[in-house]
Structure 1
């Protein structure tokens, strides 16, 4: 692909994204989780709980006991959507980032940082790495207020994998719905 064609495609994608943002500017979205599944690596984690909090089902709580210190945290997040008429989920976006860097740079205004701040509001998450072994909790996680306005009204699948030196210690899979109020 030539550089001109590549730039044209990037510009076209940006135009579509901006159009979506303008159209979605005045709508308020809500989030309802249907299921949460957590899988842990037994070498790293014991005694874990993953819960959807009633009655609105937009709030989550996660608790786990780390069996050893984590010198690094790599986080991979995949967000997929599915419309009622479609049988399959389609990837909306995926991102891999250094969790320790996000912890250290919470002053950023990026989406990842906004979600991180919403997640740690009622948490004992350490504010620097390494993360020490012991109980880690994230209570009353609500990312509804930081949902980007361009998120489509649809079914939602979120998969998050937390790894320490390329070996996962926690996988979280969420299914839910984004609704327009």
Structure 2
């Protein structure tokens, strides 16, 4: 998955992840771990054990950036979807990009229903799933998986910074 970093880099941006946190519902998931891959902090890895088959799974993706005046985070992107419908219809490009990032999960493939068992993603960059309107700035990404009208399954929070490669090269030249 390191290829994603180079694709993003060729577009002129890279991401440094500062915090990556997962909160799971113990009725559905056990042995969850969410880690930032050191030393560069540009990719993430996650692992979990799904305790039961899931026939219907909804998701909410939200992206927020700091308001220049107040520095408080303001939401710029919010989308709710049903996983099986997105996988079946393949109409929402932003969601397909996110799900494509998660598609290689060891011996499991993203399909419906999700079968109980061990799921793992390694060295994934979240850059491919960011909305194109982001510019160099910190951002907050929240991703919620839920069973409609039943319960939340997992909440993922990523606090990171998007850097413009050209600006970063100029900063380095200035101090070298």
Asked if these proteins are the same fold (TM beyond 0.5), I'd say yes
Match status 1:82 vs 2:71: no
- The alpha-carbon distance between structure 1 residues 165 and 148, as it changes in their structure 2 partners (threshold 3 A), is closer
- Structure 1 unaligned residues grouped into runs of 5+: 1-25
- 8 A Cα contact 2:64 2:77, kept in partner: yes
Count of paired positions: 155
Write the mapping of 1:27-176 to structure 2, written as runs, cut at 5 A.
28-82=12-66, 86-106=70-90, 108=91, 110-121=93-104, 123-145=106-128, 147-166=130-149, 167-176=151-160
- 8 A Cα contact 1:83 1:154, kept in partner: no
Which entry has the higher C-alpha Rg, 1 or 2?
A: 1
- The alpha-carbon distance between structure 1 residues 40 and 32, as it changes in their structure 2 partners (threshold 3 A), is same
Q: Partners in 1 of 2:159 and 2:57 — Cα distance?
A: 24
- 8 A Cα contact 2:60 2:81, kept in partner: yes
- Structure 2 unaligned residues grouped into runs of 5+: 1-9, 166-176
TM-score, normalised to structure 1, is 0.76
- 1:114-173 C-alpha deviation (Å, 9 max, x unpaired): 222123245444332111111111222113255454212111101111012331111001
Task: State the Cα distance separating 1:105 from its structure 2 match.
Answer: 3.8
Further displaced range: 122-131 or 33-42: 122-131
- The alpha-carbon distance between structure 1 residues 151 and 114, as it changes in their structure 2 partners (threshold 3 A), is same
Note the aligned Cα RMSD (angstroms): 2.2
Task: State the Cα distance separating 1:78 from its structure 2 match.
Answer: 0.9
- The alpha-carbon distance between structure 1 residues 53 and 146, as it changes in their structure 2 partners (threshold 3 A), is same
- 8 A Cα contact 1:122 1:141, kept in partner: no
